[in-house]
Chain A
Amino acid sequence: MASFTSPHTVDHYLEHLHPMLTVGLVRARVVRVLRETGDASTVELRTNGVWRGFKPGQHVQFGIEVNGTRRIRCFSISSSTAGKKKLFSVSVKAHPDGFVSQFLHNELQPGTLVHLSQAEGDFVLPRQVPDHLVLASGGSGITPVMSMLRSLRDSNHQGAVVFLHYARSKSDEMFSRELDEISSAMPNVTVQRIYTREPEVGAALAGRYSVDHLKHLGIDPASTLTYVCGPSGLISSMRETYDEMGASAMLQTEYFKVPSIDVHAADATGTLSFEIAGSDAPNSGATILEQAEAAGLAPAFGCRMGVCNTCAIKKEYGAVRHVISGEINANTGETIKICVNVPVGDVTVAL
């Protein structure tokens, strides 16, 4: 079939008949946008048949077009695997600098076309779920473990599960009502929420994570498979606990990356990471091409003046400033000419 449409793919033709009619590209429509809290929303999606489904804990690259440009971000799937194969949802906290998360939370309308990747990531439950399990999270890191918890509920899992969540306050917490319901309906599940800034009156546990929290809940790290997703502070202190107890292998982690951009920073900040080479270097403020060469890489280049497009590569993550136009782009997975772009803060490129 591909020979008939060579050098283009079949999808190059099919998508003009109908945007959901593709054989290789995952597409979806927004079914509903639900407000979870003041700054978090859940987006329900209905995919086309290309979607292969997901495992609880995985994430997806989520692309929407705004003013002609496709904006892509990684979002964790928050729904249960039990429903229809083509339906799932992501839950997103609107980050003050996050263009896409703000757009999702404030403007996204049902019916919008979404460009997806297949579900990705190894932060997933094993096929045989053990009898003892801890699902820990902080802030918006709740989404992948919520997907796990919902899937366990829907598959009638009987093992002991501790669901430990840290939020700043009750009003910052997503899925509060559902967590209450699960807590009362499932005797094998312990739902423990800790509010770090505005603790509940009479709460047994308070403040940020410490090893006492595990002790109080009667968790033995050495024998309990633990999943943790959230800010790096939470993950590193849990990692410390598990390492000290010789239980490193029992801890599965996933960071939540939020791009931090200081567009007015006078000096170069952050790290430039070369994904393919597997190395990184402190951002020197020079163009990405020059910094890559200084790091011993040999990327393809031509004119070195932004004309010929030879040096264009994918910038996976972070923000860059165009040296001529001064424009800043913070899109995930966008093609840029590295001879005329300098990194702003942490940037990862496909070099």
Chain B
Amino acid sequence: MTYSQLEEFGAELDEIRGRILNDLGQRDANYIRRVIKVQRTFEIVGRIGIFFPFFWPVFVLGIVCLSLAKIIENMEIGHNVMHGQYDWMNDPMVDGKKYEWDIIAPAEDWKNGHNYMHHTYTNIHGMDRDIGYNLFRIDKDQPWYPNHRFNLPLAFLLMLVFEWGVMYHGLELDEYLSGNMPKKEFDVRKKRAFKKIRKQLFKDYVLYPVLSLALVPFTSWWVPLAVFGANFVVNIVRNIWTFIIIFCGHFPAEVQTFAKADAENENRGQWYLRQLLGSANINGGKVFHLLTGNLSFQIEHHIFPDIPARRYAEVAVDVHRLVEKYGLTYNSGRLSKQMGSVVRQLATLATRPEDPYQRGNSPESKALRRSKRESSRTVAELAASGGALVEAP
């Protein structure tokens, strides 16, 4: 694409954005309220259902309903509200600044890592901390280390405890340990995380099981244990689902990543292009899209993160048109296809690369990094001493 084409591309997307924003109104407000109402209903039915472990159809229904409730709360409500998609409603119940979601990770730190770093610096190495979550090698531009051999089993484990992973990600322990984050800031995050963990664990694993003690005299001694177990299962079901949707939206093979230099002095069109090439969509029906929080329209979400998610399907038509007009690629596919691609990618990139420069611990790689460090230090020292890189003759 030429520079002027990129500008035109950006202007066309801005125009789509303006059209949707102008059209927001009662229908969008009714939609999110209806979703919240459905979610609350599932939650209450689920909470009651798991109190009946002695009658298994109701118990299973409870687990299913509560799982759906947590999934909808995290995806279509929490994630989208915290992007500020419904701030225009001026309703404190859906205020992106105030919302706190039903997951271990505190909203505040997640919003920093996700809304700011991930959505602004999407797929830029060294800036978007979501690339591989400092745990996996998911892109061939990441250096390979021996621990990456465990890409697949580690991913499987992360899938089960994903909400804890999200919390840990927002804590940015690695940034603190490497001296990039002041202790004061880290302590604030730590305190916030512990508070949220306490509240979440207390509700699911103490309060509701204890409440079910009241049923013990009429039924059996193990009812509270079953309630405890049901909550455990529900949280894991939600973790698996969110993990799958997020990985399929970002890590299929064809999704592109970028270097810092690619993204310097971007114009709006370039920024949009990076969003388009850096995400992948998942095909599906209406209910599927609801359960993914419309993150099945990951491309549209990345282009317009603050437009109410129910509009992504409609925006996708226009994005498709532009993709064809400018001959760009649009990565979409069935859930199974995208999932397969993610798994293959994790497996392939786990193996030790032939190229020594791709191995982070090879002498070649180390020498490369050392020389980079030294050259940047020289620049910094020169700048500090007031010297110039090029001496005047």
List residues of chain A with CB under 8 Å of any chain B CB: 3-4, 6-8, 12-13, 15-16, 63, 65, 67-72, 302-303, 305-310, 312-314, 324-327, 331, 333-337
Question: Would you give the shortest CB distance from A310 to chain B, in whole angstroms?
Answer: 5
| A6 contact set on B, CB distance < 8 A | 199-200, 202-203
| B24 contact set on A, CB distance < 8 A | 68
**Residue B28 is within 8 A (CB to CB) of chain A in the complex:** yes
Partner of B90, one of A13, A324, A335: A335
Question: Would you give the shortest CB distance from A245 to chain B, in whole angstroms?
Answer: 45
Q: Specify the chain A residue showing the minimal Cβ separation from B102.
A: A7
| A67 contact set on B, CB distance < 8 A | 25-26
Partner of B89, one of A3, A4, A68: A68
Pair B101/A7 contact, Cβ less than 8 Å:
yes
Of B108-116, B153-161, B375-383, the one touching chain A: B108-116
**Residue B100 is within 8 A (CB to CB) of chain A in the complex:** yes
Q: In the complex, A324→B90 CA distance in Å? A: 20
Question: Would you give the shortest CB distance from B90 to chain A, in whole angstroms?
Answer: 4
**Residue B214 is within 8 A (CB to CB) of chain A in the complex:** no
Restricting to B10-31, which residues have a CB under 8 Å from any CB of A? 14, 17-18, 21-22, 24-30
| B97 contact set on A, CB distance < 8 A | 309, 312-314, 335
| A68 contact set on B, CB distance < 8 A | 24-30, 88-89
Pair A331/B112 contact, Cβ less than 8 Å:
no
Pair A305/B306 contact, Cβ less than 8 Å:
no
**Residue B96 is within 8 A (CB to CB) of chain A in the complex:** yes
Of B36-44, B49-57, B167-175, B243-251, the one touching chain A: B36-44
**Residue B318 is within 8 A (CB to CB) of chain A in the complex:** no
Q: In the complex, A70→B21 CA distance in Å? A: 16
| A305 contact set on B, CB distance < 8 A | 120, 271
**Residue B91 is within 8 A (CB to CB) of chain A in the complex:** yes
Pair A327/B21 contact, Cβ less than 8 Å:
yes
Pair A69/B88 contact, Cβ less than 8 Å:
yes
Count CB-based A-B contacts (< 8 Å): 114
Q: In the complex, A4→B14 CA distance in Å? A: 43
- Contact digits for B96-130, partner A, Cβ 8 Å, 1 yes 0 no: 11001110000000011001110110000000000
Q: A13-B44, A324-B18, A325-B17 are in contact. Are A3 and B207 (CB under 8 A)?
A: yes
**Residue B83 is within 8 A (CB to CB) of chain A in the complex:** yes
| A63 contact set on B, CB distance < 8 A | 90
Number of interface residues of B (CB under 8 A): 48
Pair A309/B207 contact, Cβ less than 8 Å:
no
Return the 5 tightest CB-CB contacts between A and B, nearest first.
A68-B29, A302-B116, A309-B84, A303-B120, A7-B100
| B29 contact set on A, CB distance < 8 A | 65, 68-69
Q: In the complex, A68→B88 CA distance in Å? A: 9
Q: Specify the chain A residue showing the minimal Cβ separation from B302.
A: A307
Q: Besides the contacts A69-B90, A303-B119, A335-B87, what 8 more A-B pairs have beta carbons closer than 8 Å?
A: A4-B207, A6-B202, A65-B29, A69-B29, A309-B87, A309-B111, A333-B90, A335-B96
**Residue B254 is within 8 A (CB to CB) of chain A in the complex:** no
**Dominant secondary structure of chain B at its interface with chain A:** helix
Q: A12-B93, A67-B25, A69-B89 are in contact. Are A310 and B207 (CB under 8 A)?
A: no
Pair A70/B90 contact, Cβ less than 8 Å:
yes
| A312 contact set on B, CB distance < 8 A | 84, 87, 96-97
| A310 contact set on B, CB distance < 8 A | 111-112, 115-116
Q: In the complex, A246→B29 CA distance in Å? A: 55
| B202 contact set on A, CB distance < 8 A | 3, 6
Q: List 13 A-B contacts (CB under 8 A).
A: A6-B199, A7-B101, A7-B199, A63-B90, A65-B91, A68-B28, A69-B88, A309-B306, A310-B111, A314-B97, A333-B90, A335-B84, A335-B95
Q: Specify the chain A residue showing the minimal Cβ separation from B73.
A: A8
Question: Would you give the shortest CB distance from B236 to chain A, in whole angstroms?
Answer: 19
| A335 contact set on B, CB distance < 8 A | 84, 87, 90, 95-97
| B14 contact set on A, CB distance < 8 A | 324
Q: A6-B199, A13-B44, A68-B28 are in contact. Are A309 and B83 (CB under 8 A)?
A: yes
Q: In the complex, A3→B195 CA distance in Å? A: 13
Q: In the complex, A168→B203 CA distance in Å? A: 62
**Residue B305 is within 8 A (CB to CB) of chain A in the complex:** yes
| A72 contact set on B, CB distance < 8 A | 90
Pair B37/A16 contact, Cβ less than 8 Å:
yes
Pair B306/A325 contact, Cβ less than 8 Å:
no
Question: Would you give the shortest CB distance from A306 to chain B, in whole angstroms?
Answer: 7
Q: Specify the chain B residue showing the minimal Cβ separation from A311.
A: B116
Partner of B40, one of A13, A309, A331: A13
Q: In the complex, A325→B18 CA distance in Å? A: 6
Q: In the complex, A326→B15 CA distance in Å? A: 12
Question: Would you give the shortest CB distance from A214 to chain B, in whole angstroms?
Answer: 43
Partner of B115, one of A69, A302, A331, A336: A302
Q: Which of A16, A63, A69, A307 has the most CB of B within 10 A?
A: A307
Q: In the complex, A65→B40 CA distance in Å? A: 22
Q: In the complex, A72→B91 CA distance in Å? A: 10
Q: Which of B18, B28, B82, B200 has the most CB of A within 10 A?
A: B18
Q: In the complex, A3→B22 CA distance in Å? A: 39
| A8 contact set on B, CB distance < 8 A | 100, 102
Q: A7-B100, A16-B40 are in contact. Are A71 and B84 (CB under 8 A)?
A: no
Restricting to B63-89, which residues have a CB under 8 Å from any CB of A? 82-84, 87-89
Q: Specify the chain B residue showing the minimal Cβ separation from A326.
A: B18
| A69 contact set on B, CB distance < 8 A | 25, 29, 88-90
Pair A309/B22 contact, Cβ less than 8 Å:
no
Pair B120/A307 contact, Cβ less than 8 Å:
yes
Question: Would you give the shortest CB distance from B350 to chain A, in whole angstroms?
Answer: 32
Q: A303-B120, A327-B21 are in contact. Are A3 and B115 (CB under 8 A)?
A: no
- Contact digits for B354-369, partner A, Cβ 8 Å, 1 yes 0 no: 0000000000000000
Q: Specify the chain A residue showing the minimal Cβ separation from B112.
A: A310
| B89 contact set on A, CB distance < 8 A | 68-70
| B36 contact set on A, CB distance < 8 A | 16
Question: Would you give the shortest CB distance from B361 to chain A, in whole angstroms?
Answer: 34
Q: In the complex, A334→B86 CA distance in Å? A: 11
| B84 contact set on A, CB distance < 8 A | 309, 312, 335, 337
Q: In the complex, A95→B36 CA distance in Å? A: 36
Pair B203/A3 contact, Cβ less than 8 Å:
yes
Pair B25/A309 contact, Cβ less than 8 Å:
no
Q: In the complex, A15→B27 CA distance in Å? A: 19
Q: In the complex, A313→B87 CA distance in Å? A: 10
Q: Specify the chain B residue showing the minimal Cβ separation from A301.
A: B116
| B203 contact set on A, CB distance < 8 A | 3-4, 6
Q: In the complex, A288→B29 CA distance in Å? A: 27
